């Protein structure tokens, strides 16, 4: 006697084809078949996100404004800043000016007192913003800061004017400790937040709409 899937047959009895027990096929186990796939998919998704982020970051990297020099000096009770920036507008920014879009450039300054075993203390800060606009009627550029303004015939003259900081009062010497160590920092940037909304989106997506310098830092002892 032997056993089949449909009952017991005597030994030697012919086995009908229709009585043959079907071969059971186990369904694919999600734990076995899908386990290697899930981590691979997560890895590919993560890689895609990283690549997209890197591409976006490269597109949004700012063109650099070079800082040629920066220094401080004390004149009576004023701490005076002098600096030179190598400002050069990108073609996209030049076209924006030609179309009547005003651009805003900001120079930031900060003075930190260095402290052993502790974070530096900010003791002074100063900034100035220049508004640059072009008039197609007069064919002149106008640079203004607050109520004051000045006209220029060429964009080169505008870049030199904004990039030159000469003896600007940025702090009071009486507020500083004589002989103490300080660290000064200065930078220039295009303020994209003051652009019209559609151009702010351009600034996020294209490096042609980004223009800034890194912080230029130097030591100062009053």
Q: Could you report the per-residue pLDDT of 57-69, keeping only the tens digit for each? A: 433 445 689 999 9
Q: Could you report the per-residue pLDDT of 164-182, keeping only the tens digit for each? A: 999 999 999 999 999 999 9
Segments making up each domain of the chain, as ranges = 31-60, 63-220
Gap between the Cα atoms of 169 and 78, Å rounded: 6
Task: Identify the pLDDT of residue 115.
Answer: 82
Q: Between residues 118 and 40, which one has the greater pLDDT?
A: 118
């Amino acid at each position: 006697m032997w056993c089949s899937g449909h009952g017991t047959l005597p030994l030697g009895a012919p086995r009908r084809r229709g009585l043959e027990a079907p071969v059971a096929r186990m369904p694919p186990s999600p734990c076995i078949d899908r386990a290697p796939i899930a981590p691979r998919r997560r890895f590919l998704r993560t890689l895609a996100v990283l690549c997209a982020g890197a591409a976006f970051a490269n597109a949004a990297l700012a063109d650099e404004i070079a800082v040629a020099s920066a220094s401080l000096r004390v004149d009576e009770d004023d701490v005076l800043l002098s600096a030179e920036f190598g400002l050069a507008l990108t073609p996209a920014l030049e076209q924006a000016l030609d179309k009547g879009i005003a651009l805003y450039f900001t120079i930031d300054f900060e003075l930190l007192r260095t402290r052993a075993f502790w974070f530096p203390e900010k003791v002074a800060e100063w900034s100035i913003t220049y508004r640059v606009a072009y008039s197609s009627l007069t064919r002149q550029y106008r640079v203004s800061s607050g109520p004051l303004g000045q006209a220029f015939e060429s964009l080169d003259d505008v870049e030199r004017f904004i990039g030159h900081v000469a003896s600007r009062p940025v702090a009071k010497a009486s507020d500083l400790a004589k002989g103490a160590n300080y660290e000064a920092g200065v930078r220039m940037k295009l303020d994209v937040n003051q652009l019209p909304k559609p151009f702010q989106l351009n600034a996020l997506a294209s490096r042609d709409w980004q223009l800034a310098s890194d912080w230029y830092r130097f030591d100062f002892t009053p």
